[in-house]
Chain A
Amino acid sequence: AQSVAQPEDQVNVAEGNPLTVKCTYSVSGNPYLFWYVQYPNRGLQFLLKYITGDNLVKGSYGFEAEFNKSQTSFHLKKPSALVSDSALYFCAVTAWYGNNRLAFGKGNQVVVIP
């Protein structure tokens, strides 16, 4: 079954600095990869996805992510963090072969320091 690892519990970054949130995955075959964000007391909101094609994908609010097949990684990045980016970020994976089982990581709390 597919799984996701998000190795850091919390990421602290100064406002204006680059932000990176790490994700590695395990799946049989080719993956579909997603990033979601959760603000306090809210459901999850979709940020971006990798399906196929260009390894660098761009999403909402200036976020992007790079798919690396050899390292089985899909790290989320933002060139210049904002205080409003402080939230919980989840990486998720499902497989091409179509059982649609969507597995999430444990999440990373991002704290952007003014």
Chain B
Amino acid sequence: NAGVTQTPKFQVLKTGQSMTLQCAQDMNHNSMYWYRQDPGMGLRLIYYSASEGTTDKGEVPNGYNVSRLNKREFSLRLESAAPSQTSVYFCASSNRGDTEAFFGQGTRLTVV
């Protein structure tokens, strides 16, 4: 049982490059989330998808786009990476609001 799988685990980008972070869950969860974690800032919600076919902005959506490809997969795209997007990115999924979320192992992204 893999849970939530994120790829890649590490990435270095140059300013202006684009990339897509992939996330897949095998628990048949309805909701999926993308967070970024920065020192002293906690986990900030970038985008979330309450159910297949819907996506909504979180606290810090600027510079990002998402796609809920199907119930399993939720990708995060950086169109033109900036140094301010250097962070650790976590994907998570949950079934309903009253059930706990499961997290991936994170993607450590550095933009130079």
Contact = CB atoms under 8 A, between A and B. Distances in A.
Given A42-B105, A49-B100, A94-B97, A101 B45 contact: yes
Contacts of A96: 97
A34 B40 CA distance: 20
B90 interface: yes
B64 interface: no
Given A44-B90, A100-B50, A107 B105 contact: no
A51 interface: yes
A9 B98 CA distance: 27
What's the interface size class on A, roughly? 20 to 34
B105 A95 contact: no
What's the interface size class on B, roughly? 20 to 34
Contact of A102 (B4, B30, B101, B105): B101
Interface string A82-114: 000000001010111011111111110000000
B43 A104 contact: yes
23 contacts: A6-B42, A32-B98, A43-B103, A44-B101, A46-B100, A49-B98, A49-B100, A51-B98, A92-B101, A95-B97, A98-B50, A100-B31, A100-B48, A100-B50, A100-B96, A101-B45, A102-B45, A102-B97, A103-B45, A104-B35, A104-B44, A106-B41, A107-B43
Interface of A: 6, 9, 32, 34, 36, 42-46, 49, 51, 90, 92, 94-96, 98-107
Given A9-B40, A43-B106, A104-B45, 19 more contacts: A6-B42, A34-B100, A42-B105, A43-B104, A92-B101, A98-B50, A98-B97, A99-B50, A100-B30, A100-B94, A101-B48, A101-B56, A102-B31, A102-B48, A103-B45, A104-B35, A104-B42, A106-B42, A107-B43
